[in-house]
Structure 1
């Protein structure tokens, strides 16, 4: 696939995949974007657009669709769309500007929307869901319930934090692997989520660093999902 202006990012994504033994792997990639009010400056300064381009290049490295489905969420689902390898310049800013009011941070609404889309697609490939946020879920119990229920599906949730790495709001995500409320296997068939913090200026990270973090936990989840019968 001709990635055009994304060729450099595509090469970095390919290198990261190969380094983790995932060369030739196939997966669906989703991008979930936080539109809570505190995200305003990250849209305005192009940070979210930049991250979407990195995720689009990763998607193009593991499937042939040439598109990346995006779920914008805040209090509810603000909108859904796709960007494509031949139509991505400025698209995230355009889409964001068309969606109106920025609300709170209800993770569970976005989780539900991705699951609905995945089931409707009919694909048999696993999904890597890149879930960007700059804070805690407004409804923690609802977020926990949604992630636990999703553990029986072939979807891996890679959360990405924007903002102050020391902020207490990220405690929910930091504890994903150890929280009793999300225990494996008592509440989840397997550990289906991971978290990395991209810092106050996510654009300062190289493409290689971003892909290394986005993919770090994915091979282990694939192995566990196959062993648990979640993935054929």
Structure 2
């Protein structure tokens, strides 16, 4: 039997989970996509669709309902329908590019979308089940996100920021060293060209800090496993 691309990716995620001792972890998974002006080309050339598909494989392994929750943001944000194996094809085209209600290609403003992520998982769907958020950004992050991250350290949410492109990502690089948090609830890594990294390497980096947070957040009773 020839495996589909999503099935192949799920196998690679499984290998990574075994390596990092995460096979027993259940987590809700979400992705936040930068849709500022500088991202326009990455939406048009299929890169963002590819990112959604690659992250969906992670959600399929972690999430009970195998769904990936989706947000996009520039100065405004939109919470979009979750994506699953049944409907990921052309997701970006259908739900983002052809969606006239979405504010697109403006400037950066991260705190409002982050507050909506927190609201969804701690108010609307309040649960001690861990949340794994992958946050895609190509630079120009506003400094007030630091306060949001510090305040959210008591919540069952881990923020994995991925910087793409050639910005310096000064604010995001400081996330690991921020003080005043119960646990280190955020991580950042930079990929100059996300298309150039293999699935294996992407999943390895993506899940690098998550196990440490799971351990610490469990010890502090922020999450239950």
Q: Is the TM-score greater than 0.5?
A: yes
Question: Which residue number corresponds to residue 139 of structure 2?
Answer: 135
Q: Secondary structure, in 3 states, of the residue corresponding to 2:86?
A: coil
The partner residue of 1:163 within 156, 162, 165 is 165
Question: Which residue number corresponds to residue 19 of structure 2?
Answer: 19
- Structure 2 residue runs of 5 or longer lacking an equivalent are none
C-alpha displacement at 1:123, in angstroms?
Answer: 3.2
Question: Which residue number corresponds to residue 211 of structure 2?
Answer: 219
C-alpha displacement at 1:198, in angstroms?
Answer: 1.8
Write the distance in 2 (CA, Å) between the matches of 1:66 and 1:27.
10
Q: Secondary structure, in 3 states, of the residue corresponding to 2:127?
A: coil
Question: Which residue number corresponds to residue 145 of structure 1?
Answer: 147
C-alpha displacement at 1:81, in angstroms?
Answer: 2.3
Residues 128-173 of structure 1 show CA distances to partners (whole Å, capped at 9, x for unaligned) of: 1000000132x31x21111111100010000001101xx33x0111
C-alpha displacement at 1:43, in angstroms?
Answer: 0.6
The partner residue of 2:189 within 186, 196, 201 is 196
- Structure 1 residue runs of 5 or longer lacking an equivalent are none
Write the distance in 1 (CA, Å) between the matches of 2:80 and 2:18.
31
Write the distance in 2 (CA, Å) between the matches of 1:10 and 1:219.
18
Q: Kindly tell me: are residues 196 and 158 of structure 1, through their superposed partners in 2, closer, same or farther at Cα, counting changes over 3 Å?
A: same
Please say if 1:73 is aligned against 2:73: yes
Q: Secondary structure, in 3 states, of the residue corresponding to 1:136?
A: coil
Which of structure 1's runs of 4+ aligned residues deviate more than 3 A? none
Please say if 1:101 is aligned against 2:93: no
Question: Which residue number corresponds to residue 46 of structure 2?
Answer: 46
Measured on the aligned residues, the alpha-carbon RMSD in Å equals: 1.5
Residues 164-191 of structure 1 show CA distances to partners (whole Å, capped at 9, x for unaligned) of: 1xx33x011112112xxx31xxx21111
TM-score normalized by the length of structure 1: 0.89
**For residues 108-127 of structure 1, what are the structure 2 equivalents within 5 Å?**
108-119=111-122, 120-127=124-131
CA contact (8 A) 1:151 1:189 kept: yes
CA contact (8 A) 2:30 2:70 kept: yes
Please say if 1:209 is aligned against 2:176: no
